[in-house]
Amino acid sequence: MDNISSMIPYGKQDINQNDIDAVIEVLKSDFITQGPKIPAFEKSITDYTGAKYAFAVNSATSALHIACLALGVGKGDIVWTTPITFVASANCALYCGAEVDFVDIDEKTYNMSVVALEEKLFTARKNNKLPKVIIPVHLTGQSCNMEAIHKLSKEYNFKILEDASHAIGGKYKNEPIGNCKYSDITVFSFHPVKIITTAEGGITITNNTKLAEKISLFRNHGITRDQALMTEVPHGSCITNKLNSVITTE
């Protein structure tokens, strides 16, 4: 093909006047980053999914990274994902110093195969090489068999991080993907080739309060205004909840 305009586009976002007005409103406001639109956006995600906590970040890559950190992934750990995904689903484990391995896909859905997963777990247990975390990816919005993966997680003692980068709006057993019913954490991407876009953006979602506290810290450079987590008496006054979401300082 010689004419670039006749090629299939990599992505084509749909931006309307309301979107443009909303961006201009933020550009004219006091906060163009970390302002009140962030908790409002997070609330719209928890309202939609029914999950308890959501933490918006700059990309799903970051969302996966802080999710792995919150799950305690580190050197010596093993993380499994699917080979049919974007590299971020595996790289997040490498960022934490863990080893990555892949579970084969189901030939009908192209998602992680539960049969292959069960066989691999069986062998891994014998070889003392069980994964700490498994990252199923809901390819093109189609959910993995989460109930079966969740059942295996109880038998083989691993955590589940759903990479739902492609899947906001998708349903599993008639409920929204992202409700974390069968997982510890779910992430969505808001990159322009995804279902909805914030230009770049991602979000980490969980129902687990302890994980939410950790994710909040990792999202915020380890900075906290929760006095219970401080190693010294605060030098100024501060009023916040544990998740850094409401902040009033002097």
Ligand X SMILES: Cc1ncc(COP(=O)(O)O)c(C=O)c1O
What is the nearest approach in angstroms of ligand X to the Cβ of residue 145?
17
Q: Is 145 or 224 the residue whose CB approaches ligand X more closely?
A: 145
Task: Answer whether 22's CB lies under 8 Å from 15's CB.
Answer: no
Catalytic residue among 28, 194, 214, 242: 194
Known active-site residue 242: no
The residue among 121, 112, 83, 77 whose CA lies nearest residue 95 is: 77
Q: Which residue has the tokens 């997680």?
A: 153
Q: How far is the CB of 87 from ligand X (least distance, A)?
A: 8
Considering the complex, state which of residue 199 and residue 230 has its C-beta at the smaller distance from ligand X.
199
- Residue 10: Cβ within 10 Å count: 7
Contact set with ligand X (CB under 6 A): 59-61, 85-86, 88-89, 137, 163, 165-166, 189, 191, 202
C-beta closer to ligand X: residue 85 or 206: 85
Smallest separation (angstroms) from ligand X to the CB of 227:
34
**Residue nearer to ligand X on the CB measure, 81 or 206:** 81
Work out how close the CB of 247 gets to ligand X at its nearest, in angstroms, rounded to a whole number: 26
Residues designated as active site: 194
